[in-house]
Amino acid sequence: MTRTCTVCNHKDVDEINKRLISGESYRSIAKQFEASESAVYRHKESHIPELLSKSNDIKEIVNADSLLLKLQEEAAFVREMRDSAKRGGDIELALKAVDRALKCIELYAKVQGLIQEQPQINITLNAEWIELRSTIIAALEPYPAAREAVVNALP
């Protein structure tokens, strides 16, 4: 008869699973949730792969949740600093805190998927690229076949 997994039956099994998936140490998890280190290890080895096969996105979800929580904590800290600077009459510091707060809001929106940023760079219009292209072509002047091949290959 096989033993019942004590971690699977733990009241905080979801949180334990999240921490295991995010890479937290067995010892830390066991200590925090009053479980044995070996039970946490066995649970991860025996049951986490099964859970992962049911949800391939669980690690991304855990990481996104963790990032969002950190971002919210930082945003709260920035607001506190802004308000403190404002109360103290330090306008320059208050403006810097507002700038940081705006950056936190922007990052929060990106994490939430409200802002999707796909940088678009047109290298053919970049002055440095034009200069580099000209230098390469000039360096290949003594080698007409190579020069022609490079000119045809470059955008």
pLDDT, position 45? 81
**Length reported for the chain:** 155
Q: Which residue has the higher pLDDT, 58 or 154?
A: 154
pLDDT in tens, 13-71: 888 888 887 778 889 999 999 999 999 888 888 877 666 545 555 556 666 666 667 77
Residue 44 structure tokens:
């991860």
Average pLDDT over all residues of the chain: 77
pLDDT above 50 for 155: yes
Which residue type is seen at 32? Q
- What SS3 class is residue 79? helix
Tell me how far CA of residue 48 lies from CA of 6, 25, 39, 61, in angstroms.
14, 15, 13, 15
Number of alpha carbons in the 13 Å side-chain half-sphere of residue 130: 5
- Cβ(66)–Cβ(29) under 8 Å? no
Residue ranges of the domains in the chain?
13-56, 59-111, 123-153
Choose among 72, 59, 78, 56: nearest CA to 112.
72
pTM of the entire predicted model = 0.35
What are the start-end ranges of the H helices in the chain? 13-21, 26-32, 37-54, 58-87, 91-111, 127-139, 144-153
pLDDT, position 32? 92
Cβ neighbours of residue 90 closer than 8 Å, sequence gap 6 or more: none
pLDDT, position 53? 47
